[in-house]
Structures are given as C-alpha cells and as structure tokens.
Chains A and B, each alone.
Chain A
Amino acid sequence: MREYRADLHLHTCLSACAEVEMIPPLIVDEALHKGLDLIAVTDHNTSGNAGAVMEAARGSSLLVLPGMELQCQEEVEILCLFETLAQALAWQSEVETHLLPLSNDAERFGPQFLVDAAGEFVDEDARFYQGPVRMTLATAVHRVQTLGGLVIPAHIDRPSGGVLGVLGIWPPELESVDAAEVSPNIRPSQARQTYPFLPGIALITGSDAHWLDQMGRAITIFVMEEAPPTLACMRRAFHGEGNRRVYVP
C-alpha cells in the first residue's frame, strides 16, 4: 500500500471562468511541484481539454483522469471521472446533445480555449457550458455509471451548484454514488455534523482550481496498492476494502 495525493477537481482554460494560464504543461508542472500523484480534469460540461492534459503528463509520475464537472438540469453539479479518454469523449458526445442552445458570450463569461498538450491554441469553443444542461441528475448518474465512470457530487455544501444547497436533502438518485466532495470551506467531519443525514459514503475534497495557485489547496489522500491507480482501485478505497482508504489531510 502507498499514499496517492489526489486533486480530482480542476478546470482548464476551456472553462470560461478559469484563467487562461490553466494550460496542460503548466497544470502538470504545478501538480508535480505540489507533490500531487493524481489529478482529474473537470471542465464545465465538457472534456475537450482532458486529452491534452493527459498527453502533457505522459512520461511523468502524474496520472491524469479525464473527466467533467456536469451541471444537471436541477442545477446540481457532479464530477464525472473516467479511466480512458474514449469513455470521457463518449460521455461528452452524449452531453453535447443536451446543451442549452446558447452561445458562450466570451466578453461576459470569459473565453473557452481548446488547446494542445503544449498549451498552444487549437480553437475557441463557443458552446454554452456556463449553466445547466438539459439532462436530469438521475439520467446523468445512470449514464456515467453505465459508461464505467465514477460519479462524485461536487462541493455538496456549496449554496450554488452543491446538491445540499440546491436539493436540500440527499436525493434518492445519488444512493449509488461511491463518494461525495465537500468544498475546501469545510472539513469532512464538520460536514457530517452539519448534515447528519449524509449517507455513510466516503467524503473527499478537491481544489476546484480555476487558476494555478489554487491547485492542491484541498486534496484527498488515497491509500491503495502500489500500482498505477485505476477507478476500480479508487472505488475500493472509497469503500475501505482491505487496508485501502481515503482521507483528507
């Protein structure tokens, strides 16, 4: 067993609200500098830059999971994490058919840049990611899990976008999730005190970084076997199987 320092919630320059410095080589450098072993790329409603970050990390000790922070129709946000880029892109093409038929207003929301592994400009994405997609939470959870992905409700304590802020109490469609993320503003133990009705699932945290300096400000430690981490290992760590576990330092 060994410890993996993980930050499973961060944005690239493809999220309109993120800084333009969030490009693959700088994200990888920052993660390594902060001693992270595992990160996930979770832009709003798209996985368009996930492959570029994975490529930028190739040959380093950093493992990058492709993912997405989806805002469902109810305006609840969930992290969707995948093992392979193919799974993430399959999910992205499903989500694309449910996007609101609006364009991103780069002047007001900020630009959305698709970049390559070197951080070079590829395209400006004008689709609307800064709001909910027309897919229910129930459908999203079911579809991500069917594709083999992990669903982790994001910053559950946050008034906007967090499941407890939006839906008040734990909804039935989240009974199948393996873990939930609390925001950097609260410790998991405080969350359990504040929300005694929370299910007995693992509580993790992540930085939700929108600029480099924020990366690693909140991390989760996975205690897992000495092998390249997989979603299956992470699931076992969430459930405390064997000597595996997760904790927030």
Chain B
Amino acid sequence: MKIQDIVEQLQWEVLAGAGRLDADAQGGYVADLLSCVMAGAQPGQLWFTLQTHLNIIAVASLTGVAGIVVTESAPVAPETIAKAEAEGVILLSSSEPTFETLVKLTQIGF
C-alpha cells in the first residue's frame, strides 16, 4: 500500500519525507528497543514506536524500513526530524496509541 494513501486515510502527520510518500509499505514491526528493531524489522515494513531518540533514524536506514511511525504523538526533537530529512527517512506521527493505530491500519486494508 502506498504510504501516501495511509497517511491521508488515517490523518497521520508527516514529520519528514513529504516528497517520498509514493513509496510502498508492506507489513510492520513494533518495538521501542532499537536492538530488537535492528534484529527483527524487515525492509519495506512500517516501524511503530514511542522511541524518539536520534538513533531511530540510523536504525531505520540500517534496516531499510519504509518509514517510522511515532505513535501517541510522542514529541520528536527537531534534530531527529532534521536527521530524517538528511537521511531520506520517512518519519510519520500518529496521534493514537500503537494498538489503535494498528487496528485502524488493518481496517483500511493494510
């Protein structure tokens, strides 16, 4: 599914990577421990997390996930957003907690 379609339907906020939303995402991974994400996330997945430390951008590049979705509108520092832009990482924000975010995602056929 195109990230653009998801963002529009679920009204996620685009924090970085607005120009690259026509990319596809398939499947997802949920974790806040970056060591788990490095071991478990697959390229092309959406990664859902509450962790907003700068290292999430490096880990997203490393794993090749399609994008990061920060849930519960967890505050993301400007440095993290700037790094995402610089590294070409799509960084999104959902206002709802992770569980509700995922339920809604399945409801739109993801």
Contacts and interface: CB of A to CB of B under 8 A. Distances in A.
A25 B32 CA distance: 40
A55 interface: no
Interface in A170-228: 171-172
A232 interface: no
B62 to A, nearest CB: 8
Interface residues of A, number: 14
Interface in A148-178: 159-160, 164-169, 171-172
B105 interface: no
B33 A169 contact: no
B92 to A, nearest CB: 20
Interface residues of B, number: 13
Contact of B35 (A137, A168, A172): A168
Contacts of A160: 33
B54 A166 contact: no
Contacts of B21: none
Contacts of B89: none
Contacts of A168: 33-35, 37-38, 55, 58-59
Interface in B44-78: 51, 53-55, 58-59, 77
A125 interface: no
Contacts of A167: 34, 53, 55
A29 interface: no
Contact of A159 (B35, B37, B58): B35
Interface centre among B37, B38, B55 (most CB of A within 10 A): B55
A204 to B, nearest CB: 21
B103 to A, nearest CB: 26
Interface of B: 32-35, 37-38, 51, 53-55, 58-59, 77
Q: Which 4 A-B pairs have the closest CB atoms?
A: A168-B34, A167-B55, A74-B53, A165-B35
25 contacts: A74-B51, A74-B53, A159-B33, A159-B35, A165-B33, A165-B35, A166-B32, A166-B34, A166-B51, A167-B34, A168-B33, A168-B34, A168-B35, A168-B37, A168-B55, A168-B58, A168-B59, A169-B34, A169-B55, A169-B58, A169-B59, A171-B53, A171-B54, A171-B55, A172-B54
Given A169-B55, A171-B53, 4 more contacts: A74-B51, A168-B37, A169-B34, A171-B54
